[in-house]
Copies of this chain bind each other. A is one copy, B any other.
Amino acid sequence: MRVVDLIRRKRDSGELTREEIAQLIAAYTKGEIPDYQMSAWLMAVVIRGMTHQETAALTEAMLRSGRVLDFSGLPGWKVDKHSTGGVGDKTSLVIAPIVAAGGLKVPMISGRGLGHTGGTLDKLESIPGFNVNLSLADFRRVLQTCGCALIGQTAEIAPADKKIYALRDVTGTVESPAQICASIMSKKLAEGINALVLDVKTGSGAFMKNIEDAANLAELLVETGKRMGKKVVALLTDMNQPLGRKVGSAMEVVESIDVLGGGGPADLRELCLELAAWMFYLGERVKTVDEGKKLSADLIASGQARVKFREIVGLQGGDVGVVDDPHRLAHARRTLDVTSSVDGFLASTECEQLGTACMVLGGGREKKDDTIDPAVGLEFHKRIGDPVERGEPLCTLHYNTEGKLEEARRLVETAYKIEREKPKTIPPLIHRVIGA
């Protein structure tokens, strides 16, 4: 294999074999191929694309670059959910305990927030003592004990992805569906799961603003997962406005506990029930998705899901008291309302701006190593289609320092589009299910 020949072939829209992709990724991970050759190849991939076969080969090569967990010794189906990221998306915190309470195993490896999006790990860490950095042995132990464990990416899992992502980030080669797919799927398939439910977000707060781009990615993810022998389904869900009413680490934990307790905002509850239902369905716990939805609702109503969440928190070193009294979580010292200057209806939101506003308040990260303030966040009072009166609060900013308050306020203020007429269409929560 001459690397330059592989680069030239992709440059000229040619296809690489499974073997060639495997060698390329293995050699790069071992440091045998310099960054400058890899980045030229990555740029050719971004512009020329990859076939489904190449994408599967890339995913497999990245998966095999590290350790692949094997939970076949544990009884029952292992299922997981992955979201492509959005604003206010705290479904993992709700779903994982529901599905574990329903008898499936959920070995969940999550990420941190970056830019306008939040991350499950940050939210969990707002619970005092909660340890997301379990060793793989402890991960297995917690999973075995309570049916679910939630940890962060470890160095043993798909190291090729980590190395390649760092290079993509600085060479303008992030925007490749094949690379995005391989990056997501290599890490998820390393979890040793049998089935995966994907939540692919689309809209103004998602990475994929355009629904067709999102659908294409969803299809690619499903196709790749199936080629790797997994049961996979993707829900194409709306991110034209935040999910739920709250954004910010601790505030999102509070809202998740609300849903586990039978309350919480309708949209968040509904999406959690749908996602959990698909996990039960793929994991053969139920015969239909509707049955899965009913099971999920029952597990909430009976309190079992909430008890499971408390069990997970306890096993991972967290303060279980917060499950009963969420106000023990950190909260910001001050609030500021952003109000409407006109009468009308909420027509749309620049949802990414709302996520960015939370980041600006200190609740998110601009760069990977930034630290975050778990207490700050945003509380939303209106959803698209809601009537709005002049002077009525649209959003409440929860903040600790004045430093960037004005910047955050301006971002929020300009994110809301109020119109005189009620909007004719309101975005559905779920646009499409792909791969069912």
Interface string of A1-31 (1 = CB under 8 A from B): 0001101100100000000000000000000
Q: Do A11 and B170 contact each other (CB < 8 Å), given the known contacts A38-B36, A39-B39, A40-B40?
A: no
Residue of B nearest to A44 (CB): B43
One of B7, B47, B167 near A44 (C-beta < 8 A): B47
Residues of B within 8 A of A210 (CB): none
B35 and A170 form a contact (CB under 8 A) = no
One of B5, B8, B39 near A40 (C-beta < 8 A): B39
Residue of B nearest to A43 (CB): B43
CB of A357 to closest CB in B, whole Å: 23
Residue of B nearest to A13 (CB): B47
B171 and A37 form a contact (CB under 8 A) = yes
A172→B34 CA distance, assembly (Å): 14
One of B38, B40, B173 near A42 (C-beta < 8 A): B40
A44→B81 CA distance, assembly (Å): 35
B7 and A171 form a contact (CB under 8 A) = yes
Is A422 an interface position by the 8 A CB rule?
A: no
Residue of B nearest to A4 (CB): B172
Is A46 an interface position by the 8 A CB rule?
A: yes
CB of A210 to closest CB in B, whole Å: 15
B11 and A46 form a contact (CB under 8 A) = yes
B11 and A43 form a contact (CB under 8 A) = yes
Is A48 an interface position by the 8 A CB rule?
A: yes
Residues of B within 8 A of A44 (CB): 43, 47, 172
Residues of B within 8 A of A47 (CB): 11, 43-44, 47-48
Residues of B within 8 A of A41 (CB): 43, 172
A7 and B40 form a contact (CB under 8 A) = no
A129→B170 CA distance, assembly (Å): 51
Residues of B within 8 A of A43 (CB): 7, 11, 39-41, 43-44, 47
B8 and A172 form a contact (CB under 8 A) = yes
One of B7, B36, B48 near A36 (C-beta < 8 A): B36
Q: Do A4 and B171 contact each other (CB < 8 Å), given the known contacts A11-B46, A11-B47, A47-B47?
A: yes
CB of A294 to closest CB in B, whole Å: 47
- A36-69 contacts to B, CB under 8 A, are 36-44, 46-48
Residues of B within 8 A of A37 (CB): 39, 170-171
A7→B41 CA distance, assembly (Å): 14
CB of A399 to closest CB in B, whole Å: 29
A47→B42 CA distance, assembly (Å): 13
5 A-B pairs, CB-CB below 8 angstroms? A11-B43, A36-B36, A36-B38, A37-B170, A40-B172
